[in-house]
Structure 1
Amino acid sequence: MDYAIKTLSQLRPILLGFRKSAGLTQAAVAKLLGITQQSYAQLEANPASASVERLFKVMRLLNVELSLSQTSPSPSSKPAQTGTPKRQRPVPTVKKAKLPSTANRSGSTSKASSSKQPLVAITTKKKRENW
């Protein structure tokens, strides 16, 4: 049977259905892929975030074939306009604000420094699986 997927949200239930119709658990699919069950559960929960390569590996394992077809334009899509284009309003420009001047010890003025603190990268150690 063919299933048309038009949005990424449709991918999850279809992958889940193919896995279950093959009689496989998440743990069984993960073992065949050489990854942990948790990694496969993440892919199945959010397949839109997986790479195309990983999706193809899963589809190959489930004996699922990907077929692409071109659809006809929908009736709501408008044909290209001919003639003179509509006149568009100009985009307003934004001027940069000047920083207030402050006097230093010598009496000369300088621009106030920004009180922003540098961003600190938060790193977490995650085990990355190569599959």
Structure 2
Amino acid sequence: MDYAIKTLSQLRPILLGFRKSAGLTQTAVAEQLGITQQSYAQLEAKPASASVERLFKVLRLLNVELRMRQRSSAPGSEPKQADPPKSQGQVPAAEKTKPSPVAKRPSRTQNASSSKQPLRAIATKKKRENW
């Protein structure tokens, strides 16, 4: 059966359905990919954040074929509605309430005055799987 995917949010239930119809658990798929079950669960939960290469590996494992075709009508071919005309001398309400593009921040020396360490994010070590 063919499934048209038009948004990234549609990818998750379709991957889940193909995995279940193949009779596989997340653990079984993860073992075949050479990764942990948690890593596969993360990919299945948010497939939009996975690389195309990883998605292709999962699709191959699930024996799913990806097809692409051009739609019959070109995107953006629908007529655009014109913006309402602006009267001269008036500023739209949206422009009146815009925040200033330059935000004031405390200087680095003010924050770091009590400690000698430079301000930078503390890196946490995560185990990265290379698959």
Q: What is the TM-score when the length of structure 2 is the normalising length? A: 0.70
The equivalent of 1:22 in structure 2 is 22
TM superposition shift of 1:73? 3.1
Q: How does 1:1-131 map to 2 (within 5 A)?
A: 1-71=1-71, 72-73=73-74, 77-78=78-79, 115-116=107-108, 117=111, 119-131=119-131
Question: Percent identical across equivalent pairs?
Answer: 75
2:129 is paired with a residue whose SS is coil
Higher RCO structure, 1 or 2 (CA under 8 Å, sep 6+): 2
CA distance in structure 1 between the partners assigned to 2:41 and 2:122 by the alignment: 25
* CA distance, structure 2, for counterparts of residue 41 and residue 95 of structure 1: 40
CA RMSD after TM alignment: 3.5
Code of the residue aligned with 2:61 in structure 1: it is: L
Greater mean alpha carbon deviation, residues 61-70 or residues 117-126: 117-126
* Structure 2: runs of 5 or more not aligned: 89-99, 112-117
Counterpart-to-counterpart distance in 1, 2:107 and 2:66: 54
Report which of the two structures shows the higher radius of gyration computed on alpha carbons. 1
Give the TM-score normalised by the residue count of structure 1.
Answer: 0.70
Structure 1 ranges of 4+ moved more than 4 A: none
Higher strand share: 1
Give the distance between the partners of 1:10 and 1:58, measured in 2 at CA.
16
Listed as ranges, the gaps of 5+ residues in structure 1 are 80-86, 97-113
After TM superposition, give the deviation of residue 75 of structure 1 in Å: 8.6
Name the SS of the counterpart of 1:56 in structure 2: helix
Cα drift, residue 95 of structure 1: 9.9
